[in-house]
Amino acid sequence: MSMSPRVVDSVAALRAQVRDWRRDGLSVAMVPTMGALHDGHISLVRIALEKADRCVVSIFLNPTQFAPSEDLDKYPRQLARDLDRLAEAGAELAFTPDVTEMYPTGFATRISVGGPAAGLESDFRPTFFDGVATVVAKLFLQASPDYAVFGEKDYQQLCVVRQLCRDLDLPVEIIGAPTVRDARGLAMSSRNAYLGEAELEVARNFNVALRQTAAALAAGGDEGSTTAEASRALVKVGFDKVDYVAARESLTLAPWRRDRDGRLLAAAWLGKTRLIDNVEVPST
């Protein structure tokens, strides 16, 4: 029977536990999450424990990365189930602060990010990456981990977090973990819980269309017309709206060049649910 993780909800208790581990010479990895844990999150914990002696998982639904019109209120919350899943995965510590612990009365500081944060998600969620960067910086300063693991499914976020650590000299090694998919290729996401059976069938075409588009780009297809065709194809199979399908350089998210490794990133809507995904574009 797996041991349940110790649960702490204050920064002081988090730091005390990490201090104890450090005193014993143990390395520490962190997996920041917003809860509603699925197999993708559990894969991050397992990677964390391959790199470090101990793993702390934060579960915090961060309000500063949601715009007023977004799904903060209905985002899945299931702490007891999350803790059971962390026990299975072997995480030793769960940090579950409430909003007042992370943003006490009078909180007035925000990190503003450029570089890889420009465009894509920011065109549709303009406050998102400032909210992510602020909470991630706080978590890293609170837990002082050696490593932190983020999924490649949120690829732009991974690039932003790497930039944040470089620019602010945060001594945390960022590990990007491969996207975990279901048997039909759909990327695991907490928001998949919003989808009905018919919508799930449509959603499973997302990755197929992106892989076909990446192959067409790698084979010499024109970027503008190939990505526009991908948007049309997604609407044709049942997506309601496509926010973007775009090719970028994989390290910087600068405009794509054929002689560099690339990434094809996309966001699309199924009813009221917004899904994102990405695939590699091989360099030619």
Task: Note the pLDDT tens digit of each residue in 267-276.
Answer: 999 999 999 9
In the numeric block, which tokens belong to residue 136? 């991630």
Residue list for the binding site for (R)-pantoate = 65, 157
Name the packing angle between helices 155-167 and 128-143 (round to 10°): 60
How far is the first Cα of the chain from the last one, in angstroms, to the nearest whole number? 50
The domain limits of the chain are 6-177, 190-281
- From 5, 29, 30, 41, the catalytic residue: 41
Q: Is 237 within 8 Å of 205 (Cβ atoms)?
A: yes
In the numeric block, which tokens belong to residue 95? 């940090």
- Return the closest-CA partner of residue 58 out of 114, 101, 117: 101
The CATH code belonging to domain 190-281 is 3.30.1300.10
How much is the pLDDT for 3?
A: 84
Residue list for the binding site = 34-41, 65, 151-154, 157, 180, 188-191
CATH fit for domain 6-177, picks 1.20.1290.10, 3.40.710.10, 3.40.50.620, 2.30.22.10: 3.40.50.620
0.95 exceeded by pTM: yes
Q: Does the annotation mark 70 as catalytic?
A: no
- Summarised one tens digit per residue, pLDDT across range 108-136 is 999 999 999 999 999 999 999 999 999 99
Q: What is the dihedral of CA 8, 38, 157, 243, to 10 degrees?
A: -140
What mean pLDDT is predicted for residues 233-254? Answer: 97
- Summarised one tens digit per residue, pLDDT across range 170-218 is 999 999 999 999 999 999 999 999 999 999 999 999 999 999 999 999 9
> Given the DSSP bridges, would you call strands 262-270 and 241-249 parallel, antiparallel or unpaired?
antiparallel
Give the C-alpha separation, 88 to 4, whole Å: 8
- Using CB atoms within 10 Å of the CB of residue 69, give its burial: 0 to 12 exposed, 13 to 18 middle, 19+ buried: exposed
In the numeric block, which tokens belong to residue 248? 């970028």
Is residue 1's pLDDT more than 70? Answer: no
Residue list for the binding site for beta-alanine = 65
